[in-house]
Homo-oligomer: A and B are copies of this chain.
Amino acid sequence: MKKNLPRSTAEAERIVLGIDPGSLITGFGLVAVGRDGPRLLDCGTIVNRSTVPMAERLRVIYEGLCETVGRWHPSEAAVESAFYGKNVQSALKLGQARGVAILAAVNAGIIPAEYAPREVKLAVVGRGNASKEQVQFMVKTLLRTRSRSMMLDASDALAVALCHARRRDDHRPKRHRDWGAFVAAHPELVRP
């Protein structure tokens, strides 16, 4: 069905940036989404030492992501949203890292989408309580890569990007301008 629909070049190759922010390790992953499914462009981690003051860590995260955005020019971005811990101080720290991560995308003109960890796991593995290792296995399978050095934070970020790519497809609004276009695209749904 999709093959019959005309697509613009921009639509044929979206570049999605996924971010898994953290005050110590921030994972990022870039996926190109075209007609042949998702393709791995880049992934990695921005690592901070715990001895470095928080203000300096935030600068490192922000500059690292700005550099990535500048290199790949993503058209969309997605960030893990929720925090399931109970510790308010940990949430505050994570919030700070998320704040500068979101800012790096916004400064490039992209409002990042947000997905809960459960939503990401469900989209990529099919199970909301999958482990990080299971997420990484599925990310590698979907992106057809055998990279052995991929860190779990990087594969988590790629999973967020893949989740966003898939959700955007699922929720793509009004692919058909009118019922005529819909019927033309779904001949099997029309009685002869």
Contacts and interface: CB of A to CB of B under 8 A. Distances in A.
Query: How many A residues are at the interface, by size bracket?
Result: 20 to 34
A165 interface: no
Interface stretch (A68-76, A85-93, A126-134, A167-175): A85-93
Contact of A106 (B56, B86, B89, B106): B56
Contact of A88 (B55, B56, B83, B96): B83
A167 to B, nearest CB: 17
Interface in A50-93: 53-56, 58-59, 62, 82-83, 85-89, 91-93
Contacts of A98: 92, 95-96, 99
A111 B53 contact: yes
A94 interface: yes
Contacts of A95: 91-96, 98-99
Nearest to A60: B106
Interface in A14-32: none
Given A83-B88, A83-B92, 12 more contacts: A55-B103, A55-B111, A55-B112, A56-B111, A58-B103, A59-B107, A91-B91, A91-B95, A95-B99, A99-B99, A100-B103, A103-B103
